[in-house]
Structure 1
């Protein structure tokens, strides 16, 4: 009897451990399922939509490839080359994606500009957060590259770096090249030829009319005003 009495607590102790282990496993499975669902929902928001006839009816935050919705833009996506201030290629291939609402505003701005004999040319569009980390590793200076921990509006699909070209593709003189970091690139630097000031003003006034705002130190950079509260994204397009 003594042996049996000693064995009973051991039996119940083992059973209790087994139950606790089972509960822990169930809780872990539930947590994993919750995490997976959250990740899946985040990924759904980042997935680009296929080419459609129109952007109408699409959620504002979905990503689209701009070239799928217009043939009227020009591209020179510098970070897919070494022709940039980093002197490094940080994109695997050149593509211009934005959120739907950014694309809609760009289409309207470009339509107006084309009526005046010009087109928008892109140097950079949506930038995956992983690319922001690559840029930061090369130039860890917030004066030139946004800290990837916080991210930039480029990472949210709401910023573009652009210039203007004629309908024949000739670039307008903006006074400096893209990513020139100096006072000559500032919007408030009026010590420039009138033709250059007029070119910058045409771009600035048109973009502001369709909801974009500029930054003082870069004539080429425009943020969509409604994009600042969007999530930093890290979706990457396929390179064929």
Structure 2
């Protein structure tokens, strides 16, 4: 109870700064000092860099390049982070896949809130991007965009669409696909769901951690972490 009260008072004290320039009145942690205080009180709040904590995991951070739906680099650094329990769950996924000669490739993890507002302004189809009035589960460090790779060759397994596709085939239950593709997609969903993730309906690559509601929206850039 004392821990919960401490976190509540901490959030209230940071509230004015957190809501600055935010038209939706959302509580968003955009102060590095406040973030560190949260982590000190609750280690599960820490954003861990995936590459440092999960052996063999591969990165393809598209938003640090122009190879994404915006056509521009929106991250200054090609890095991927997630909250501690999310990272631990992903490590379990990686360990299980390794037994079959497979692994994970990460496209995106924690995403600063300002990037979400930028995406919403750019995207023509708003159903594929989070509305900044609510924030994104990526902003909470609890959503992961990923796919499967063959560890020996490094090649991605065949999936319904490329990453960030707005096509109807990107839906997690789209059926008119080759048998191999459906099998690969089902494998990905099965191993992720076993480790407390749930796939997003219209994006086969996007998985939300079940405990995402326990984590605050964040707007701290990668270079400060």
Same fold (TM over 0.5): yes
Partner residue, 2:90: 106
Choose which of 180, 200, 210 in structure 2 pairs with 1:215: 200
The structure number with the bigger radius of gyration is 1
Partner residue, 2:188: 203
* In 2, Cα distance between equivalents of 1:235 and 1:148: 16
What RMSD in Å do the two structures reach over aligned CA positions? Answer: 2.6
| Structure 2 residues without counterparts, runs of 5 or longer | 1-11, 19-28
* In 2, Cα distance between equivalents of 1:139 and 1:173: 26
* In 2, Cα distance between equivalents of 1:233 and 1:128: 6
* In 2, Cα distance between equivalents of 1:155 and 1:37: 17
| Structure 1 residues without counterparts, runs of 5 or longer | 1-33, 49-57
1:173 positional shift: 0.4
Partner residue, 1:24: none
Deviations 1:193-225 (A, max 9, x none): 111111001100000000000112111000001
Partner residue, 2:169: 184
1:174 positional shift: 0.2
Deviations 1:21-78 (A, max 9, x none): xxxxxxxxxxxxx856986996446349xxxxxxxxx721111111111231011010
- Maintained 8 Å contact 2:170/2:203: yes
Partner residue, 1:91: 75
- Maintained 8 Å contact 2:14/2:34: no
How many residues align structurally?
Answer: 199
1:124 positional shift: 0.7
SS at match of 2:222: coil
- Taking CA–CA contacts closer than 8 Å with sequence separation of 6 or more, which of the two structures ends up with the larger relative contact order? 2
Deviations 1:153-175 (A, max 9, x none): 00000001000001121110002
**TM-score, with structure 2 as normaliser:** 0.80
Partner residue, 1:143: 127
* In 2, Cα distance between equivalents of 1:126 and 1:80: 13
Within 5 Å, give how 1:129-168 maps onto structure 2. Answer: 129-139=113-123, 141-168=125-152
**TM-score, with structure 1 as normaliser:** 0.75
Choose which of 111, 114, 117 in structure 1 pairs with 2:101: 117
